Amino acid sequence: MSGTADSETEMAPAVRRTIHGPYVRIAHWINALAIMVMIGSGWEIYNASPLFDFVFPKSITLGGWLAGALLWHFAAMWIFIANGLVYIVFGLTAGHLRRRLLPVRFGEALSDAGAALRGKLRHGDPFSYNAAQRALYVAVLLAGLLIVATGFAIWKPVQLQWLTAAFGGYENARLLHFFSMAAIAVFFIVHVTMAFLVPRSLRAMIRGY
């Protein structure tokens, strides 16, 4: 009979609860694009004067040559910085960063990461990140801050000599810039793999629910 409590529950329209609000989603995808442009063009810039005994294959670099790559790098840099500021300011004022990314507990992060590697980590609650995710997201935000600061230190070593000096000089700042890129690139590979292994998390980051 249609009047029973059970059948009413069955017929009630599914409630869509927002998992990621629009500002998080827009900032996330702008950031993903800006990072890809910055890494691809950064590799081309690196190839013009390699720090180590290798260069990046031309097919995975962006810009074609040094001057082209610099244009891409600086254009994406301003987008990355402006977008990052919006994400951080909104994240702090709306409480998003505190609610979703904190606390970071290393013991829990390691055990969740171990469980994820054994395929035993449950991704039951789409509204909260597990400890390994929280640690990785906070770490990548810090790597983002470091890559911007070291980038300015090697871009304007005369005007911002205090900054370059704070990183131990131009060569050290350049190394730190490279290693922040490497950390973000490793995060990117792990993060995108996880996103495709848990497709409903990817759908939520695209449409919000």
In angstroms, rounded to a whole number, what is the distance separating the alpha carbons of residues 62 and 46? 11
Residue 141 Cβ vs ligand HEM, minimum distance, rounded to whole Å:
6
DSSP per residue, 12-48: SPPP---SS-HHHHHHHHHHHHHHHHHHHHHHHHHHH
Query: Which residue, 28 or 160, is less far from ligand HEM as judged by CB?
Result: 28
Residue 195 contacts ligand HEM per CB under 6 A: yes
Residue 109 Cβ vs ligand HEM, minimum distance, rounded to whole Å:
15
Residue 192 contacts ligand HEM per CB under 6 A: yes
Name residues contacting ligand HEM, limited to 98-157 (CB under 6 A). Answer: 100, 137, 140
CA distances from 116 to 50, 76, 122, 139 (A): 36, 33, 8, 18
* 158 CB-near residues (< 8 Å, 6+ apart): none
Binding mask 20-59 for ligand HEM (x = CB under 6 A): ----x---x--xx--x------------------------
Structure tokens at 193: 């793999």
Which of residues 108, 146, 205, 208 is near ligand HEM by CB under 6 A? 205
Beta carbons of 73 and 45 less than 8 angstroms apart:
yes
Residue 201 contacts ligand HEM per CB under 6 A: yes
Residue 184 contacts ligand HEM per CB under 6 A: yes
Query: Which residue, 28 or 149, is less far from ligand HEM as judged by CB?
Result: 28
Sign of CA dihedral 142, 144, 147, 153: negative
Tell which residue, 104, 40, 106, 33, has the closest CA to residue 69: 40
Residue 197 contacts ligand HEM per CB under 6 A: no
Return residues touching ligand HEM (CB under 6 A): 24, 28, 31-32, 35, 100, 137, 140, 184, 187-188, 191-192, 195, 201-202, 204-205
